[in-house]
Structure 1
């Protein structure tokens, strides 16, 4: 990048190759090029300042993992099956497990630059052959701008794009605020904290933050946000990235368009160029007869074979433009009328105007905007940070305004439409997949429920974890529906560690099972007794969350040990045990991303007869979005049971006021 020392309020015209740009340094500290302040943030502490001193993800003690594994199995197994599993795990701990643990720790010591789970977890994603939409790609929908005029599709798409580029520039120039979890924001989220920790060398900066009870989070995933894509290959996909490219790809009506959004010096082009280019694309009314993006909804091996055909018929350049684009911008024609329609549009759509392989797609419709992201490269921490930053920036500092009337004359020369050469076999595959995908999407049921009687505030009064209460409600609901307990997954980030990903927290516990039984017992305990049981469930839940966040869960550890066993050619009873397989088939897959800027968010079920449960907790209400396959599970029945369960929990808490 061209670097120039510029005094305040001084404007210079600089020539760089064929580019002429107007640079200015402003009194407010902003740095404008082409009329755009180039940075969304100008952090005094460099973006990756804490990265070097982040603690490493610990390898749990084998005996702790075995105990935790058995405790998680107990509520979902019969007494007979539990005894078998108990024997398998104890034999494993005494014999093969000890040797595998030693090998794992030796490997971990030799790879101090990363975590022991990073590569195998990454490979797990890339090796799975099932389609990405619904199965892997989650979605988030923005709340709308409070000024309705700025929700216009052209205005919003332009501003979200500019804010995304400002985020990108800040990230690459290392002036994006480091991601830090502040245990006590009033004391640590301050200029003094930044001054002190910024002064410390990177090698010890984490320890300085820790003294403030602030915990810097791993930011290694952030670089994969832009210019990257997942490319299908037989057996195992790969992630490809080229950070030298300056263009985005815009999808409209199943067609692909591209234009440069960074100039030759790497600076954001003018807002008028961005607005006029998007305006030009929005005016293109024709629909793709053979929408290529639908192929990204396929089984990964099937898509890999078709992509190889595309490459062999002189489409390499067009595919490379999609693969290397900063990200994908999808301009949808839809005007969504209800929440279910919102979920379907952002979770899966009809697949015609999507390229699900991109790291993320920014989707802007007639009355909504959101993102759908590919999951192998990263997790919720990175995507939520991007999501929140660009929403705040685009609504507080918009560069494009209603009725700006930017001309599209220049855009016709700037915007290029990608022209794919398709043979008859590819055309047939596309047409068939459009029909297949439609049927697949129709097999998915979506239910949304909002409970308005209470939320976080009532839980605080009773000193109960709001998350534990919501998870308890899911357990009670499933028990009401099927009279049993099942494997349940709650996502927990381990981003407090270098290259941490996620850990599974197991909300189905011995305590929640006892509560479910008590609630349905003919000799039901008093509400006061039930409240005591809720408090007990909450304490256990909070402890499990703490263990998972600190890298002390059992799931990732067991997974790593299993991979080592397979690599060594070992066939071990503990991993052949049906109980091990069953606990990893999560009937209830749950996750929450708490943010006031998220209107809706969710994902699909991870097993055929399961539920994808996205949930939100507010001060005075609770919400849940449930996805499932109609043929194999009862989504509406689960929602009804959830409603009853939350009503029961509310009554218990209300009647036992502190």
Structure 2
């Protein structure tokens, strides 16, 4: 009855005694503040969009230009001397403006000044875009004793001159970023053939050369022309198709197959109170959202000069994936003042704002404690309801349309989908012990898939808080790539650790933010509770209600059985390598990422007895709306080095030389991918066009069906300025991971966590007779050891 009473904020009745007005002052107060908050957000967004639109110029430069023009022109009219900066344009305008002086002079001066400023602004904007097309800086080696070329030095000077006088906002550079370039067809074909050479014998390679030649001379030309047209017309010729066909059109479960996860800082445990940890993380996440909404988050800059595209940040919060019969869609809501909390089989709507103000951590902790103290039992079918989002997409879409399209179910589902994000209060405990590495394995599995029903896998992200205060997240992949999520996580943890006197690395921008604020900024009292006091009459969380009939419960159970079979087949191993890390790799004058990739090549060859197609994700955010590109670490050079390591007759000197060549080739491949000269996104888009045109290409059919039996990705970290790894070496996150891409392959995510630590998340399927995650982790350990011994043996000579 309390909810029903609160829903009626205003009513009136006409009787013989007159008009009686009844209203709830508290509810009207809340409505007033909600409206004010909405207007403020819209006004702030408008002003910020204008400021970003005129970057690298500024509104203050416009005011100075207009003021200066008026001052100089009016001074000339008054004292009959001075310079007409408009070269007669103002006098010409005066002939067509029917106003009296001095208004006529002010209007004409203002118009002339604006025209000059606008011309200068457009020149600066497009000059900056042209400068950002240049990618020569990426291929030049840096470091002690390395000299930059004259062209790169001049480029750096020009970029600094254009961007020095205006402080950028999050989206300031979006209009200056260049389009993703379309590689020439012959270049992609040449790079493709080179990439598959170590995977094929002479006969198969000759056959593939024939397919490439036929494609290049035949249908490939036509497909390339259509793709060229798309690259001219769209902001990014890959991103919309990649999002639609790789993510949203997939009908298989997104749990394990698509969603990814992140973990806590494992060496520090700031509080064992579940409610306190959940409160700090939630508060920090909302602060990050405020930074994104206000565009106060600084854009990530490569080498401190070149911005990365920031468009993915927009959908971080208030976003959900909606299932469809043939394709899903991503829905982003403009604002949300609540989260949804899942605990003990029940869903709660938890308000996080009161009278337009974000609740402080202590107030949020009280909200979570209220949920934890609730002893009500789940409605029939409610406990496993999240399994619908974990199973096949088509049955979920059908169930959503049939059982959740009206009434209580519709209202509750809408509450979840409109929430800023979901917080899961786990009933289990997970921790880390160096004496029992399997604890990390269990923790990773909890983050990757949970129990198959206790996450809302469609939400942009779920924050998972264990009963003992350990935290992690599960992220949906279609709305953005892992770097965005990891930025928030790192930032929040960073703040938490500083506040408790930690000595730290964390994983990558959203998770980075959460972790930083949680550890370094907010902190905890000695008893583990959040800092702060309750300052208002808290709005209490409310249980979401459901009416799930027998047919709906059958649909839920069917999805759960699919999810359960999938998660039970996951073989996950988290390997923490502490023998050495980035510091030793750099002392060998090798790229740490290339070094690790070569170790994975050696480990896989030893594990499988052969080479296989290998995927490494790189980003293309140097271009507008860029997402990812594929690097192919299995190269002619890497296979030559691996074979040399397995050949006892090859000297260590020769092995080291081959390793340096292999790392150099890998680094070039990574640079090419970042610069829009990759292989796989180009081939993917050609394939999509062939399907639209309903033409068949034997070459594209074979290429796009090749399985990635070794799929790898490095977890980004250090994206915020709050984390100083040299000062805080104990703040180590184990990073995050993902499920295997191929049924008979491995998924390997790794994080180079500081100077002396590496983490590897190795996933595979138990049902595969040719994979074993624990065995592969041991092969990684052996490969890293052999590589260190290789360089140490040379140093002794």
Q: Give the shorter-chain TM-score range.
A: 0.7 to 0.9
Partner of 1:612: 747
Partner of 1:275: 365
Report how far residue 641 of structure 1 moved.
2.3
Partner of 1:430: 556
Instruction: Measure the CA separation in 1 of the matches of 2:414 and 2:523.
Output: 30
Rg: which structure is higher?
Answer: 2
Report how far residue 395 of structure 1 moved.
1.9
2:455 paired with 1:354: yes
Report how far residue 580 of structure 1 moved.
4.4
Question: Please, which of 389, 398, 404 is the counterpart of residue 305 of structure 1?
Answer: 398
Instruction: Measure the CA separation in 1 of the matches of 2:236 and 2:400.
Output: 33
- Contact residue 253 and residue 352 of structure 1 kept, 8 A: no
Report how far residue 367 of structure 1 moved.
3.1
Question: Please, which of 763, 775, 779 is the counterpart of residue 641 of structure 1?
Answer: 779
Report how far residue 431 of structure 1 moved.
3.4
Instruction: Measure the CA separation in 2 of the matches of 1:435 and 1:309.
Output: 20
2:515 paired with 1:391: yes
CA separation of 1:259/1:518 partners in 2, compared to 1, >3 Å: closer, same or farther?
same
- Structure number with the higher helix fraction is 2
Partner of 1:380: 482
Report how far residue 634 of structure 1 moved.
2.2
Partner of 1:602: 737
Unaligned 5+ runs, structure 2: 1-25, 34-165, 432-438, 487-508, 718-730
Unaligned 5+ runs, structure 1: 1-14, 22-42, 189-213
Report how far residue 160 of structure 1 moved.
0.9
- Contact residue 348 and residue 541 of structure 2 kept, 8 A: yes
Question: Please, which of 147, 171, 195 is the counterpart of residue 72 of structure 1?
Answer: 195
Question: Please, which of 274, 280, 286 is the counterpart of residue 165 of structure 1?
Answer: 286
Instruction: Measure the CA separation in 2 of the matches of 1:287 and 1:140.
Output: 30
- Contact residue 75 and residue 509 of structure 1 kept, 8 A: yes
- Contact residue 271 and residue 399 of structure 1 kept, 8 A: no
Partner of 2:683: 558
SS in 2 for 1:346: helix
Question: Please, which of 760, 766, 779 is the counterpart of residue 630 of structure 1?
Answer: 766
CA separation of 1:246/1:513 partners in 2, compared to 1, >3 Å: closer, same or farther?
same
Which has the larger displacement, 60-69 or 238-247? 238-247
Instruction: Measure the CA separation in 1 of the matches of 2:218 and 2:204.
Output: 21
Question: Please, which of 569, 591, 600 is the counterpart of residue 465 of structure 1?
Answer: 591
CA separation of 1:18/1:504 partners in 2, compared to 1, >3 Å: closer, same or farther?
same
Report how far residue 298 of structure 1 moved.
0.3
Instruction: Measure the CA separation in 2 of the matches of 1:105 and 1:134.
Output: 35
- Contact residue 258 and residue 418 of structure 1 kept, 8 A: yes
Report how far residue 317 of structure 1 moved.
1.1
SS in 1 for 2:783: helix
Instruction: Measure the CA separation in 2 of the matches of 1:285 and 1:534.
Output: 61
Report how far residue 133 of structure 1 moved.
1.1
Partner of 1:122: 243
SS in 2 for 1:221: helix
Report how far residue 296 of structure 1 moved.
0.9
Higher relative contact order (CA 8 A, sep 6+): 1
Partner of 2:411: 317
Instruction: Measure the CA separation in 1 of the matches of 2:558 and 2:698.
Output: 43
Report how far residue 652 of structure 1 moved.
0.9
Partner of 2:693: 568
- Contact residue 684 and residue 704 of structure 2 kept, 8 A: no
Report how far residue 251 of structure 1 moved.
0.9
- Contact residue 228 and residue 323 of structure 1 kept, 8 A: yes
Task: Output one character per residue of 1:86-131: Cα deviation in whole Å (capped at 9) or x when no partner.
Answer: 11112222232222212211122122xx200011001021001111
2:229 paired with 1:136: no
Report how far residue 594 of structure 1 moved.
3.6
2:604 paired with 1:483: no
- Contact residue 181 and residue 231 of structure 2 kept, 8 A: no
Report how far residue 343 of structure 1 moved.
0.4
Report how far residue 428 of structure 1 moved.
2.5
Q: Aligned ranges for residues 475-624 of structure 1 at < 5 Å?
A: 475-521=601-647, 523-577=648-702, 579-582=703-706, 585-595=707-717, 598-617=733-752, 618-624=754-760
CA separation of 1:286/1:478 partners in 2, compared to 1, >3 Å: closer, same or farther?
farther
Which has the larger displacement, 120-129 or 166-175? 166-175
Which has the larger displacement, 218-227 or 102-111? 102-111
Q: Aligned ranges for residues 211-360 of structure 1 at < 5 Å?
A: 214-263=305-354, 265=356, 267-286=357-376, 288=378, 290=381, 291=383, 292-312=385-405, 314=407, 315-337=409-431, 338-360=439-461
Aligned residues: 584
Question: Please, which of 39, 46, 49 is the counterpart of residue 169 of structure 2?
Answer: 46
Report how far residue 280 of structure 1 moved.
0.4
Report how far residue 379 of structure 1 moved.
0.5
SS in 2 for 1:449: strand
SS in 1 for 2:281: helix
Report how far residue 403 of structure 1 moved.
4.3
Instruction: Measure the CA separation in 2 of the matches of 1:96 and 1:605.
Output: 34
- Contact residue 253 and residue 285 of structure 1 kept, 8 A: no
2:174 paired with 1:174: no
- Contact residue 451 and residue 646 of structure 1 kept, 8 A: no
Task: Output one character per residue of 1:379-411: Cα deviation in whole Å (capped at 9) or x when no partner.
Answer: 022112111112112222217744469789965
Q: Alignment RMSD, CA only?
A: 2.4
CA separation of 1:483/1:48 partners in 2, compared to 1, >3 Å: closer, same or farther?
same
Report how far residue 70 of structure 1 moved.
0.7
Report how far residue 435 of structure 1 moved.
4.5
